[in-house]
A and B are shown apart, each in its own frame.
Chain A
């Protein structure tokens, strides 16, 4: 028997076989359902029947089944766009669950947003020997790499990153840098018909630096653990050009590296250190002409493995300068050989202090462990003396860093060095040495605030995530403005030399130091330990860190403006030139607002307004704990925050992270409701009272004012019933109608009616809102009452679930309302506050307010008072003489 389903939907499932009863049941159900349901039914039916009666299916039918199957799966894969786009009506499901958009949970990353039971990541250990030639500004080095393959795959080759090659003249970054703009190309102007093209001296300096120096790696002696040479190739930016100019290097293994196995390889390399101020980079040297010394900052300085991940396998995007790094965890040993009078700061713990430090320095370090304020290990006087010397001798500093994704270091004879122990307590890392390294050009600002803010950062961040897990946390001053590595950060603030030889700084520079140290040390948590993929998702470390550095900053001193307020992101969000936060880093046009400000504002809103601090902090800590020393993806973050807080947040992630909608909730109208009791003795009175509110006729009023008398006034003795009783007079006829109404009520209806009739002092209001910005958010109401009291009322965002465009809400209040304001404290990033107030008020523009204020620009706390107090007093006579020397 071959039943065939009706053809009307254009889909048929045909079966052969003897399972007639079941098919009949399904056939009748079929005609009632929609197309997608049909497919579902077909699919499940086919599976069910196939299991039962496999032998009955013909080959022809199997083909049909597989077509149906693949169609069904394909329609699922369209996910958001396929599922939401309607052909009828315009309903938009802002609360649609995101599971259909996220990658499927699997054994590596589960549906809870946790590492799955089969989670794996590679481990890569490095043993590096490096030598710094100070005069040539040159690095010579060699390394042995131990690569452990914890993946379920066999690897025939390994990919390494050669970040220094970005500075090669022929690199992809150089070849594709347009004339105007891009990293390290300051000051060019393309020109137009009225203005000639221009190039600044800075741009010329960069060009000369690139022309004079050969930057990029020279790689040699690539070999395996037995010293046998290995085949390797570097991708070039021009496939027919020089072959060493790319940033990706493949090393071919002699035999495939099986799951669970390790292999060793080794190679040598050398490169010229870039001059950071000329070329602009995350590392490099800075020359100080006055004392003739350099500060060397070394980062991205060794060939290291690309990440091999469960969701992308080998990450292989060329390093173009913008998207940052994706790295593996491992253990590092470094032997750093530098001039004997240099001070070295590095990721890791110094293994041979007796070889490189004096007894006095060691004593001070020990003392610093329990000090209450930073203690100098190398004092300013010693650093100043050191600056004068110079030496041909060398020393080797040995460092060990465990369970890190990267290492960086700095070296200079200009450094003074202070330290203070952070007594963290706990089991993970009870003592962390906080240290700062800086030249005299950073004082007195650095000695006061650098190490102190390193410790402050750890104190705050650890409360929100986990104990700082490394033995040291360092802040080093050099040419780089701000950059982060495990256990070490590079920070740029400097102070100004005055004519009297002292050094001072403005409040703004102080803020810069506090802010940048907190931010960069914060990065040691995100992404150095919670190892997100920076090249894919800048926001996962920058957004999370920007949110947390605002918390830490406001705990330092709220008078200094920290953090990201919702209002700060409004102008970006309302612009029609945006991409969603969930966009791969290299494609984002405005990285600052997109990856820092907006996600940080979103997290602040999630914390302060939507989840509340307790739920948010618990969930955020859970995310941090789960992914500490592992590699999370955005979906792991979204899933964790939801299921640890117990609140459905898909609407929030969808609105803030996946869309470019903005927030604009308008309070359109307020209706006051009054109970119509159907009792004429009450209602007719009410109607009469309302009628007097209608303005009287001007015609009648003017007649009266002119003294004209009405007929009824001139003939008062002629009166009738209607002169005494107005239209609102109540009669028994009306009362009988009412009693008839009452007699028909059931008991429960009578009860409810009596209660409503007798209720005094309740006010019923219906508020109508519309969502003009698209982004659904909670409706927060500031209610002002007739007695001048006020209160806040919070309506969760779910109110928008049935209609994302308009919604009304009934409020039953004890007092009479006089004014309602939506989002009175500017918590939701609402872009138009003019439609937030009812009754409407005139909202002055910022410019109007500015023009009104007399006392503008009084920036009492912004002067460099440190310097100004030293100014010599000039009398009026002196000033007169200055104005007119004659």
Chain B
């Protein structure tokens, strides 16, 4: 069982508003040959974040500039490297607001013979230590998840050689 009773208690009381959790999918799209990185944040969380990071006038919904700044802020805090620690350059694809969420998109070509990934995901964790970022790495019909919370710095996954 991966989860043990951790004394670090994440998350505050049962408040309705900011949920302080985000989900990132790292998808190995064999068809297009690229690793797609899709970040999803609750618009409500993002709205409070930009006010703290960029000042009270920032408006995540109405201002394209704020959305762009937010995307850059997220992308600066997400890093991906191969098993040896060689960092990937992630291309900025874009961002969009849809429904309750704001999405930020990045991509990089699939590397052959990838033994694993190292990931750092600090988005929003420097303003809210309660922030929890879940990363699902989806490769060849298998999913491995990483949870960034508390003092977590870098997390990694390994891929079985047999699959390549």
B54-87 interface mask toward A, CB cutoff 8 Å, 1 = contact, 0 = none? 0011011110100100000000000000000000
Q: A483-B15, A863-B62 are in contact. Are A187 and B126 (CB under 8 A)?
A: yes
Q: Which residue of B lies closest to A481 (CB)?
A: B17
The verdict on A506 contacting B62 (CB below 8 Å), with A482-B15, A589-B3, A846-B38 known, is: yes
B32–A508 contact, CB under 8 A?
A: no
User: A181 within 8 Å of B by Cβ?
Assistant: yes
B66 to chain A, nearest CB (A): 11
Residue-wise interface mask of A (462-491) relative to B, using a CB-CB cutoff of 8 A (1 in contact, 0 not):
000000000000000000111100000000
Q: Considering the chains assembled together, what is the distance between the CA atoms of A480 and B132 in angstroms?
A: 21
Of A316-324, A684-692, A753-761, the one with at least 4 CB within 8 A of chain B: A316-324
> Nearest Cβ distance between residue B133 and chain A, in whole angstroms?
10
Nearest to A482 among chain B residues (CB) is B16
Residues of A within 8 A of B61 (CB): 506-508, 859, 862-863
Residues in A whose Cβ lies below 8 Å from that of B153: 190, 192
A574 within 8 A of B: yes
- Residues of B within 8 Å of A481, CB to CB, are 15-18
Output the nearest chain A residue to B46 by Cβ-Cβ distance: A508
Q: Chain A residues with Cβ under 8 A from B144's Cβ?
A: 576
Cα of A282 to Cα of B15 in the assembled complex, Å? 9
Query: Is there a chain A Cβ closer than 8 Å to B88's Cβ?
Result: no
Contacts of B150 in A (CB 8 A): 178, 180-181
Task: Say yes or no: is A185 at the interface (Cβ < 8 Å to chain B).
Answer: yes
Distance of A833 from chain B, by nearest CB (Å): 13
Q: How far apart are B37's CB and chain A's nearest CB, in angstroms?
A: 8
Q: A727 to chain B: closest CB distance in Å?
A: 44
Q: How far is the CA of A595 from the CA of B57 in the complex (A)?
A: 33
Report yes or no: B36 in contact with A845, Cβ–Cβ below 8 A: yes
B1 and chain A: residue at smallest CB distance: A579
Contact partner of A512 (CB less than 8 A), chosen from B17, B64, B129, B147, is: B17
Q: How far is the CA of A591 from the CA of B144 in the complex (A)?
A: 20
Tell me, in angstroms, the Cα distance from A192 to B93 when the chains sit together.
30
Question: In the complex, what residue of chain B is closest to A508 when comparing beta carbons?
Answer: B61
Q: Is the CB of A571 within 8 A of B25?
A: yes
A516 to B40, CA, bound (A): 22
B139 within 8 A of A: no
Q: Is there an interface contact between B97 and A571, defined as CB atoms closer than 8 Å?
A: no
CB distance from A520 to the nearest CB of B (A): 6
Contact B36 A847 (CB under 8 A): yes
- Residue from the list B7, B13, B20, B136 in contact with A324, Cβ < 8 A: B13
Binary contact readout B133-145 vs A (1 if CB under 8 angstroms, 0 otherwise): 0101000000111
Is A185 within 8 A of B129, CB to CB?
yes
Q: Identify B19's interface contact among A181, A506, A576, A592, CB under 8 A.
A: A592
Give B80-122 as 1s and 0s: 1 = Cβ < 8 Å from A's Cβ atoms.
0000000000000111110110010101000000000000000
Q: CB of B161 within 8 A of chain A?
A: no
- How far does the alpha carbon of A697 sit from the alpha carbon of B124 in the complex, in Å? 65
Q: Please, which residues of chain A bring their CB within 8 A of the CB of B127?
A: 186-187, 200
Q: Is A70 an interface residue (CB 8 A)?
A: no
Inter-chain contacts of B15 with A (CB < 8 A): 480-483
Q: Which residues of A contact B93 (CB under 8 A)?
A: 847, 850-851
Whether a CB of chain A sits under 8 angstroms from the CB of B9 is yes
Are A516 and B59 also in contact (CB < 8 A) when A181-B10, A586-B9, A857-B67 are?
no
The answer to whether A848 has its CB under 8 Å from any CB of chain B is yes
Chain B hits for A589, CB < 8 A: 3, 6, 10, 132, 147, 149
Known A-B contacts A183-B130, A189-B126; A864 and B23 likewise in contact (beta carbons under 8 Å): no
A162-195 interface with B by 8 A CB criterion: 176, 178-183, 185-190, 192
Assess whether A574 is in contact with B143, with CB atoms less than 8 Å apart.
Answer: yes
Q: Is A280 an interface residue (CB 8 A)?
A: yes
Query: Given that A574-B136, A842-B31 are known contacts, is A516 also in contact with B17, CB under 8 Å in the complex?
Result: yes
Cβ-defined contact, A856 with B96, below 8 A: yes
Q: Is A114 an interface residue (CB 8 A)?
A: no
Known: A571-B25, A576-B144. A850 touches B94 (CB 8 A): yes
**Chain B residues in 8 Å Cβ range of A380:** none
| Cβ of B29 to closest chain A Cβ, rounded Å | 6
Q: CA of A780 to CA of B117 in the docked complex: distance in angstroms?
A: 37
Once A482-B17, A571-B134 are accepted as A-B contacts, the answer to whether A496 and B56 lie under 8 Å apart by CB is: yes
B60–A178 touching, CB < 8 Å: no
Given A481-B18, A507-B61, A857-B64, A579–B94 Cβ distance below 8 Å? no
Interface residues of B in 20-46 (CB under 8 A from A): 20-21, 23, 25, 27, 29, 31-32, 36, 38, 40, 43-44
> How far is the CB of A1 from the nearest CB of chain B, in Å?
53
Interface size class of B (residues with CB under 8 A): 35 or more
> Which of the candidate stretches A55-63, A534-542, A702-710 sits at the interface with the other chain?
A534-542
Q: Is there a chain A Cβ closer than 8 Å to B5's Cβ? A: yes
CA gap between A846 and B134 in the complex, in Å: 18
Q: Give the residue name and chain of the A residue nearest to B20 (CB).
A: A592
Q: How far is the CB of B140 from chain A (nearest CB, A)?
A: 13
CB of A575 within 8 A of CB of B136, answer yes
Asked if A181 and B27 sit within 8 Å, CB to CB, the answer is no
Considering the complex, give the chain B residue whose CB is closest to the CB of A509. Answer: B47
Contacting B at CB under 8 A, from A557-584, are: 561, 571-572, 574-577, 579
Query: Is A577 within 8 A of B3, CB to CB?
Result: yes
- Measured in the bound complex, the distance between the Cα atoms of B147 and A576 in whole Å is 10
Q: Which of A520, A593, A862 contacts B21 (CB 8 A)?
A: A593
Residues of chain A within 8 A (CB-CB) of B6 are 589
Q: State in angstroms the CA–CA spacing of A541 and B13 once bound together.
A: 12
Nearest Cβ in chain A — how far from B136, in angstroms?
A: 5
CA distance A503 to B118 in the complex (A): 47
Please report the C-alpha to C-alpha distance between residue A198 and residue B126 in the assembled complex, in whole angstroms. 9
CB B39 to nearest CB in A, in angstroms, measures: 11
**Roughly how many angstroms separate A87 CA and B16 CA in the complex, as a whole number?**
46
A534 vs B13: C-alpha distance when bound (angstroms): 10
Given A186-B129, A187-B129, A590-B21, check contact A508 B16 (CB 8 Å).
no
A179 / chain B contacts, CB cutoff of 8 Å: 151
Q: How far is the CB of B97 from chain A (nearest CB, A)?
A: 5
B147 contacts A577, CB within 8 Å? yes
A654 to B27, CA, bound (A): 30
Give complex CA distance A222, B159 in Å: 64
B11, B23, B100: the one within 8 Å of A572 (CB): B23
**In the complex, what residues of A have CB within 8 A of residue B67's CB?**
857
Which residues of A817-847 are within 8 A (CB) of B?
842, 845-847
Q: Which of A322, A507, A508 contacts B12 (CB 8 A)?
A: A322
Q: What distance in Å separates the Cβ of B146 from its nearest Cβ neighbour in chain A?
A: 7
C-alpha gap A496/B25 in the complex (Å): 35
Which of B7, B15, B40, B47 gathers most chain A CB within 10 Å?
Answer: B15
Find chain A residues with CB under 8 A from B31 CB.
842
Residue A587 CB within 8 A of the other chain? yes
**B17 to chain A: which residues have CB within 8 Å?**
481-482, 492, 512, 515-516
A590 and B134 contacting across the interface, CB-CB below 8 Å: yes
Q: How far is the CA of A863 from the CA of B7 in the complex (A)?
A: 43
Tell me if A223 is interfacial: C-beta within 8 Å of chain B: no
Q: Pick the contact of A520: B2, B10, B16, B146 (CB < 8 A).
A: B16
A selection of 6 A-B contacts at a CB cut-off of 8 Å is A180-B150, A508-B43, A516-B16, A575-B145, A577-B145, A847-B27
Give A contacts to B, CB under 8 Å: 176, 178-183, 185-190, 192, 198, 200, 280, 282, 320-322, 324, 480-483, 492, 496, 506-508, 511-512, 515-516, 519-520, 534, 538, 541-542, 549, 561, 571-572, 574-577, 579, 586-587, 589-593, 595-596, 842, 845-848, 850-851, 856-857, 859, 862-864, 868
| Other 6 A-B pairs with CB < 8 A, given A482-B17, A856-B94 | A176-B7, A183-B12, A321-B12, A324-B13, A848-B29, A851-B93
B residues in contact (CB < 8 Å) with A: 2-3, 5-21, 23, 25, 27, 29, 31-32, 36, 38, 40, 43-44, 47, 56-57, 59-62, 64, 67, 93-97, 99-100, 103, 105, 107, 125-130, 132, 134, 136, 143-147, 149-151, 153-154
Q: Return the 8 tightest CB-CB contacts between A and B, nearest first.
A: A181-B129, A575-B145, A862-B61, A482-B16, A519-B16, A863-B62, A561-B99, A592-B19
